[in-house]
């Protein structure tokens, strides 16, 4: 398995659950690509109904329902409000019909129409001029990076192996078929050959690089989606607000997530090197701020109010559409001489994508158990009188069977949150000890999300963080200072507030 994002992690887990010997390598850190930079939504995709993608929407809604059932604390319900104004699209009647179909796929009713006054009570900051009413409906949200790590944890428990900071530099070919890869440990600089009956290419938007090295033609169109992060108090929302951008009608969301407010997303062609870190452009920042000014005029949100930003690149199959937003989000699986590439799709549908990959692999592996399994094995929340039910539910969802050990193996004093965030010091210690942390950004951007939701806390608690890295990672003071300087530079360039 090449690629440690949501798709590679899902394929690894499904393979391991079925008794297959499987190893995953990731060039950088797990979830360091689009899988930690998504919109954090587990949703059916209302806009796909407008495009006639009924199958994709049905599959996504059903996956959302299973994840809500099987992964409480990791996947949580969220309410959306979509306001209506004269001439806005979709109109109230059209949206109502779409939401009725949405609910039918889910097997339960979650939508309703609300009049103008109630819409303003639900979201007081939205534009009131011309407001005629709104539709309210349900979807779900997640911590995308923790989702990847939970899948990898489950895969390891089932016998799989996964290694980060290890790059596939060359495919091994025998008798016209791909039979493995030469890999390089980017930290220790060691090389090795890994033989495999099937090589799965789940490299995200960089997957074409591996395919081209095997003689295949480029088929992907990398599209960048960027987000702004606001402190929760600056644009307080009890629920998400979905609306159309005044310039081009594209859907934009503002939604509460882990104590902050996220605003996204854009959809533009990304032409940079696949191995470089993406970041929000000034044009994208202005685009999102324009959307906020339109929908929340009294809030007067400006670039200076943002505490962070992030950009992810979607691996979309290129159909030649002129408008990036018109490209299909359908998943694709290609078997090219034993190199099985899985790409496209969306966060919500990681499990069907993994199963489609296993079906393709089974043609080369022979008999494989392809029966459906639960999305996740539900885990009861751990016991800890010092934490409330919400925190315990989140720990059970994000860490699964390890949640109890996380609390049991860390000092009582580590059960307090880092600053005003939802992250516990215990999570930082656990991640450093057990989750293959190599650099400080692994710990602050992906094992926890402090770099997005509380970007100043690592400086405010510098000595406590230094002590954890010393005790759990064996870092000297010099190593910590180098890592801290590298992290500050990385965050400023790729995750900082827009200028």
Quickly list DSSP for 92-125.
Answer: HHHHHHHHHHHHHHHTS---EEEEHHHHHHH-TT
DSSP 8-class letter at 424: B
Is the same domain home to 311 and 244? yes
Do 10 and 353 contact (CB within 8 A), yes or no? yes
Per DSSP bridges, beta strands 23-25 and 161-163 are: parallel
Q: Please say which residue of 317, 341, 361 terminates a domain.
A: 317
Question: Which helix (H) or strand (E) segment is 312 a member of?
Answer: strand 308-317
Write down the pTM of the prediction: 0.96
Q: Give tens-digit pLDDT for 215-259.
A: 899 999 999 999 999 999 999 999 999 999 999 999 999 999 999
**What residue ranges of the chain have pLDDT lower than 50?**
none
Query: What pLDDT shows up at residue 274?
Result: 79
Query: What pLDDT shows up at residue 44?
Result: 84
Single out the residue of 230, 368, 241 nearest to residue 306, CA to CA. 230
Query: What pLDDT shows up at residue 385?
Result: 81
Is the same domain home to 278 and 209? no
Is the same domain home to 313 and 236? yes
Q: How many CA atoms lie within 13 A of 376 on its CB side?
A: 31
Number of domains into which the chain is organized: 3
Q: Is residue 83 part of a domain?
A: no
Is the same domain home to 323 and 313? no
Residue carrying the six token digits 């009890």: 238
Query: What pLDDT shows up at residue 221?
Result: 93
Q: Which pair of structure tokens corresponds to residue 93?
A: 């009647």
Q: Please say which residue of 271, 287, 317 terminates a domain.
A: 317
Packing angle, helices 477-494 and 462-473, rounded to 10: 120
Query: What pLDDT shows up at residue 167?
Result: 96
SS3 218: coil
Query: What pLDDT shows up at residue 24?
Result: 98
Query: What pLDDT shows up at residue 156?
Result: 98
Is the same domain home to 231 and 278? yes
Nearest-angstrom CA–CA distance, 14 and 187: 28
Beta strand ranges found along 125-165 (DSSP E): 133-142, 161-163
Is the same domain home to 356 and 325? yes
Q: Which domain holds residue 480?
A: 409-494
Query: In CATH, what number is assigned to the domain containing residue 280?
Result: 3.30.9.10
Q: Is residue 459 part of a domain?
A: yes
Count each helix (H run) and each strand (E run) in the chain, helices first: 17, 18
């Amino acid at each position: 398995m090449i690629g440690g994002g949501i798709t590679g992690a899902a394929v690894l887990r499904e393979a391991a659950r079925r008794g297959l010997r499987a190893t995953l390598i990731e060039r950088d850190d797990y979830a360091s690509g689009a899988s930690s930079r998504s919109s954090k939504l587990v949703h059916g995709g209302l806009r796909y109904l407008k495009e006639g993608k009924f199958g994709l929407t049905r599959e996504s809604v059903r996956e959302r329902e299973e994840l809500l059932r099987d992964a409480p604390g990791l996947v949580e319900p969220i309410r959306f409000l979509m306001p209506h104004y004269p001439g806005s699209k979709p109109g109230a009647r059209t949206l109502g019909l779409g939401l009725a179909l949405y609910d039918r796929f889910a097997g339960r009713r979650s939508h309703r129409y609300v009049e103008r006054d109630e819409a303003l009570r639900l979201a007081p900051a939205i534009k009131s001029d011309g407001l005629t009413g709104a539709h309210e409906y349900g979807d779900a949200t997640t911590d995308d990076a923790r989702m990847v790590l939970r899948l990898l944890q489950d895969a390891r428990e089932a016998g799989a192996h996964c290694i980060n900071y290890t790059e596939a530099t060359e495919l091994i070919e025998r008798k016209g078929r791909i039979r493995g890869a030469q890999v390089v440990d980017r930290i220790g600089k060691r090389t090795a050959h890994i033989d495999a009956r099937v090589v799965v290419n789940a490299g995200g938007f960089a997957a074409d690089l591996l395919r081209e090295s095997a003689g295949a033609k480029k088929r992907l169109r990398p599209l960048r989606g960027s987000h702004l992060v606001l402190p929760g108090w600056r644009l307080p929302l009890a629920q998400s607000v979905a609306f159309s951008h005044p310039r081009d009608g594209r859907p934009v969301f503002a939604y509460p997530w882990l104590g902050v407010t996220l605003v996204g997303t854009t959809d533009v062609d990304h032409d940079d090197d696949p191995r470089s870190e993406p970041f929000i452009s000034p044009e994208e920042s202005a685009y999102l701020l324009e959307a906020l000014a339109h929908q929340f005029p009294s809030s007067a949100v400006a670039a200076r109010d943002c505490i962070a930003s992030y950009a992810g690149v979607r691996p979309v199959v290129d159909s030649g559409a002129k408008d990036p937003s018109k490209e299909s989000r359908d998943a694709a699986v290609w078997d090219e001489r034993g190199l099985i590439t899985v790409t496209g799709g969306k966060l919500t549908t990681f499990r069907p994508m993994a199963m489609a990959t296993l079906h393709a692999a089974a043609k080369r592996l022979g008999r494989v158990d392809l029966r459906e399994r639960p999305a996740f094995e539900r885990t009861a929340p751990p016991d800890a009188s010092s934490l409330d039910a919400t925190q315990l539910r989140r720990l059970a969802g994000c860490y699964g069977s390890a949640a109890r050990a996380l609390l049991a193996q860390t000092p009582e004093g580590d059960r307090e949150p880092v600053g005003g965030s939802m992250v516990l010091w215990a999570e930082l210690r656990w991640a450093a000890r057990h989750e293959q942390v190599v650099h400080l950004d692994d710990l602050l951007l992906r094992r926890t999300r402090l770099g997005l939701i509380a970007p100043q806390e690592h400086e405010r608690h510098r000595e406590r963080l230094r002590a954890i890295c010393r005790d759990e990672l064996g870092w000297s003071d010099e190593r910590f200072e180098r890592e801290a300087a590298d992290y500050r530079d990385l965050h400023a360039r790729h995750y900082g507030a827009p200028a």
